[in-house]
Amino acid sequence: MIDLTGKTILVTGGSRGIGEAIVRAVAGAGAQVLLHFGKSRGAAEAIQKSLGSEVCHLIEADLAEAAAAGELWRAATAAAPRIDVVVNNAGIFEPISVDAPLDEWHRTWGRVLQVNLHAPADLCKLAIAHFRAHGGGKIINLASRAAHRGDASDQWPYAASKGALVAMTKTIARGYAKDNILAFTIAPGFTDTDMAYTSLDDAGIERILAEIPLGSMVSAEECGALAAFLCSDQVRHLTGATFDINGASYVR
């Protein structure tokens, strides 16, 4: 049984999909949750209502803005002076053709890297300073199967951002274990959320399912359960590890 009683966990992008599943899983295990959201205020408020405002605190920030991670962290530490775990889940998936004009190419790369890599890096930096002052903590970064096997030909920025996130997490684990700071990566394959169905028609969905030996996309709830386990103190020596959760569609 996972018991997170007494822990405070910050989850970015916590209003939908995998983020919502993580919020619900850690709250169900007894944690206090700082739920970050970008634009989905209604969804975030519905989650807070179902969990209770004493369990779930909402923080709004647009991580596409360069200064947003710092603002988010200040709001988080004002709401909860001791944070035990940071879960960097927020991410975007924005296709760009290799034939696109260079200025459009640069804008897309900039947006994807800002949300998927720069904002998590800022939050990790701020979290490490916080954890050093409070005896340690944990970071969980949500990457993707694409970090290891690549992605579609119009998803260079997404795959690159997730690959960098994996390398960053390993670097944190190696560098700060001495400070009792642990870091893990979760790398889902196609997940049964709204994000997975973006730009997919029925034929695309059938093709994706045919590549998954289990025959179905991973559920957000499975990712949430894994994240809750990593938030616990049961697996300290797994720091630095990447956890693939993709139905054996890509086995390393």
Distance of alpha carbon 156 from alpha carbon 97, whole angstroms: 9
Out of 158, 176, 197, 250, which one is annotated catalytic?
A: 158
- Quick: pLDDT tens for 17-66: 999 999 999 999 999 999 999 999 999 999 999 999 999 999 999 999 99
Q: Are 248 and 214 in contact (CB under 8 A)?
A: yes
Active-site residue, 158 included = yes
Count of alpha carbons within 13 angstroms of residue 224, beta-carbon side: 23
Query: Exposure of 6 by Cβ count < 10 A (0-12 exposed, 13-18 middle, 19+ buried)?
Result: exposed
- Quick: pLDDT tens for 83-134: 999 999 999 999 999 999 999 999 999 999 999 999 999 999 999 999 999 9
Cβ-Cβ contacts under 8 Å for 46 (sequence gap 6 or more): none
Distance of CA 148 to the CA centre of its chain: 16
In the DSSP assignment, the letter for residue 194 is G
Residues paired with residue 188 on neighbouring β-strands, in sequence order: 245
- Quick: pLDDT tens for 133-187: 999 999 999 999 999 999 999 999 999 999 999 999 999 999 999 999 999 999 9
Q: What is the model's pLDDT at position 197?
A: 67
By three-state DSSP, how is residue 137 classified?
Answer: strand
Residue 247 backbone zone (phi > 0: left; psi -120 to 50: alpha; other: beta): left
Domains and CATH numbers, the chain: 8-245 (3.40.50.720)
